[in-house]
A = this chain, B = another copy of it.
Amino acid sequence: MGRWQPNARGRLEQAALELYREQGFERTTVKEIAARAGLTERTFFRYFADKREVLFPDANPLQELILAALAEVPADVAPIDAVSRALQATAERAFEGRRGFARQRQSVIAAHEGLRERELVKLASITEALAEAFRGRGVAEPRASLAAEAGSAVFGVAFRRWISGPEDPADAPDLAREIRECFAELKAAAAEGDTISR
């Protein structure tokens, strides 16, 4: 066995989520988190850039999943449909069966403005990565950026609907379906307007 308990990062993440839930984000000090994980404050900051980042796994695995899913979509599919498919696939791969955890985490984030800020940055990072992927696929600006933004917007709305549905897992909505329906709704809303688009 090593000199230290294994999985320091995971212990810190878990301790932080627990404490944020128990007593709120602001009323939790980094020292407390570290103590619960059997480590020191200094070590916390070696793993996480700041007190908020502990709730947002680094390297943004969600972003990687989305880009990987997008890469699987044939290049001749229109950007808006490509991103729709990529997000639906990601929903099934990354969120299926994790609604309870997502709800917990989201309630912590919603309770503190600073955490919501960080969440928006992560989403913006995904948006930019999507735009870059579209450019790589030969989609010109501003369509690449707009398709990416549309995807992120739909994902955000669908995610909120998924999270805020009935608590009982049996009645819970399906994230992939929410995404599909929100894309359809967005298309309908866009088509409803004037084609001249004043």
Interface residues of A (CB under 8 A from B): 78-81, 84-85, 113, 116-118, 120-121, 124, 141-143, 145-147, 149-150, 152-154, 156-158, 160-161, 180-195, 197-198
Q: How far is the CA of A36 from the CA of B161 in the complex (A)?
A: 48
Q: Which residue of B lies closest to A81 (CB)?
A: B193
In the complex where A80-B192, A190-B80 touch, is A198 in contact with B180 (Cβ < 8 A)?
yes
Sample 12 A-B pairs with CB under 8 A, ordered by A number: A78-B192, A84-B193, A84-B197, A116-B121, A142-B185, A145-B157, A146-B185, A149-B154, A150-B189, A150-B190, A187-B191, A190-B190
B157 contacts A142, C-beta separation under 8 Å: yes
Determine the distance from Cα of A147 to Cα of B153 in the docked complex, in whole angstroms. Answer: 10
CA A132 – CA B117 in complex, angstroms?
A: 20
Distance, CA A197 to CA B181, complexed state (A): 9
User: B142 contacts A149, CB within 8 Å?
Assistant: no
Please, how many angstroms separate the alpha-carbon atoms of A96 and B141 in the complex? Answer: 24
Contacts of A141 in B (CB 8 A): 161
A189 to B139, CA, bound (A): 11
Tell me which residues across on chain B come within 8 A of A195, comparing CB atoms: 187
Contact A143 B190 (CB under 8 A): no
